[in-house]
Structure 1
Amino acid sequence: MRLILLGPPGAGKGTQASAIVKKYGIPHISTGDIFRVNIKMGTELGIKAKTYMDKGLLVPDELVISIVKDRLTEEDCKKGFLLDGFPRTLSQGEALDEELNDMGLKLNRVINIEVGKEVLIERAIGRRVCKDCGSTYHIKFSPPKQENICDNCGGQLFQREDDKVETIKQRIQVYLKQTKPLIDYYTKKGLILNVDALSQ
């Protein structure tokens, strides 16, 4: 099963992704996670990506396409994959189609999670992440037992730069502007499945 998960920042893609990969036994490929790992490790890719992510901008296509292309050739992708955070633009979608075509593969479905802007902002600004193990919490919807302390490892929780109000507003605007043509593209191909995040 080869799937794409679309949705604005804070739409709950991570929660949906966990259920999907469990059901189909496929890897969850999140470009955001790949970039964050590289940022933490201080790699060249991470340093480049961080300059864009801290401003709420999308990482340039050539950087993203190259990491996704490498990832799709790994052994665990033979049964399929769930792409999360890629593609985000029409050009990325077209590049992905070319890569899959070269590999003799096709997408099965594109799941588009829909949610209102105000809800997205509330979800994003309340998110906290553990510095040590990466566990995610929300100060309103799923708070830790002890304020700012991870339940799993006792690590310190923090708010990511890209979860602050002005950054999240910028990210939503960028997402809506750049991803709308991509949704239209997959709709024309008959691949889109729209899901209302608030009805889940």
Structure 2
Amino acid sequence: MINLVLFGPPGSGKGTQAKKLAEKYGLLHISTGDLFRKEIGDKSELGLLATSYIQKGELVPDEVTIGMLKAALARHGSTFGVIYDGFPRTVDQAKALDEMLEESEDEIDVLISLKVEDKEIIERIIKRGESSGRADDKDEAIIQSRIEVYKKETQPVYAYYDAHDKALTIKGSGDIDEIFESLCAVIDQVTVEE
């Protein structure tokens, strides 16, 4: 089984590429945003717990998020592998994910970071906001703030996996299909090494 983390700032194309990769390789695509929406929509025990934090304006604790990941993995059973999209967002979450995988004698094989310049990220998110109608995708100040939070809180996750020789960066700007081919080349290499 292969475990991949697709990494990058907001608007870097993680979701788009994760869906394409999941389809090509038969990977389970786990987006924490989608997980939260499903658990909350289902009013599951974890969803209700997450809602209680969200309603207070607090971050959902890592153990609740890990619980949702475990539930999603249990629902889907055995697959060729998993691609994590939007998780982990902090070094503590990365450590919690590693501990969860160790329970089944597994590990993250590689974190692939999509490198995109801030200017292009802002342009992409504003364009996405025009079609999605999301207010937070139309305000450049909010977008810039999200980029800064990513750099401060999430970027250290790259260093965490890099210290274990499990992180690499590819160019995330340009043609979607060219980026996809670069990602496939990395995954093909990782699966050969397994």
Measured in 2, the distance between the counterparts of 1:39 and 1:164 equals: 26
Structure 2 gap segments, 5+ residues each: 180-194
RMSD (Å), alpha carbons: 2.5
Partner residue, 1:10: 11
Q: Taking structure 1 as the reference length, what is the TM-score of the superposition?
A: 0.73
Partners of 2:90 and 2:4 in 1: how far apart?
A: 16
Partner of 2:167: 192
CA separation of 1:183/1:194 partners in 2, compared to 1, >3 Å: closer, same or farther?
same
User: What is the CA deviation profile of residues 120-145 of structure 1, one whole-angstrom value per residue up to 9, with x for unaligned ones?
Assistant: 112112215xxxxxxxxx65xxxxxx
Deviation at 1:161, TM superposition (A): 4.1
Distance change (3 Å), C-alpha of 1:46 and 1:125: farther
Residue identity matched to 1:97: D
TM-score by length of 2: 0.75
| Percent identity (aligned) | 40
For 1:19 and 1:191, the matched residues in 2 are separated by 22
Whole-angstrom CA distance in 1 between matches of 2:81 and 2:104: 12
Give distance in 2, aligned partners of 1:162 and 1:59.
20
Query: Of Structure 1 and Structure 2, which has the larger fraction of its residues in helix?
Result: 2
Alpha-carbon distance, 1:76 to partner: 4.0
Structure 1 residue identity aligned to 2:166: L
| Alignment match, 1:159 | 133
Where structure 1 has 5 or more consecutive residues not aligned to the other structure, the ranges are 129-137, 140-157
Q: Secondary structure at the match of 2:170?
A: strand
The aligned counterpart of 1:181 is 156
- The question of 1:105 aligning with 2:80 is answered no
Matched residues in 1 for 2:39 and 2:71: separation? 15
Partners of 1:39 and 1:50 within 8 A in 2: no
Measured at CA, do residues 41 and 99 of structure 1 come closer, stay the same or move farther in structure 2, by a change above 3 Å? closer
User: How many residues in Structure 1 have an aligned counterpart in Structure 2?
Assistant: 169
Q: Which residue of 1 aligns with 2:122?
A: 121
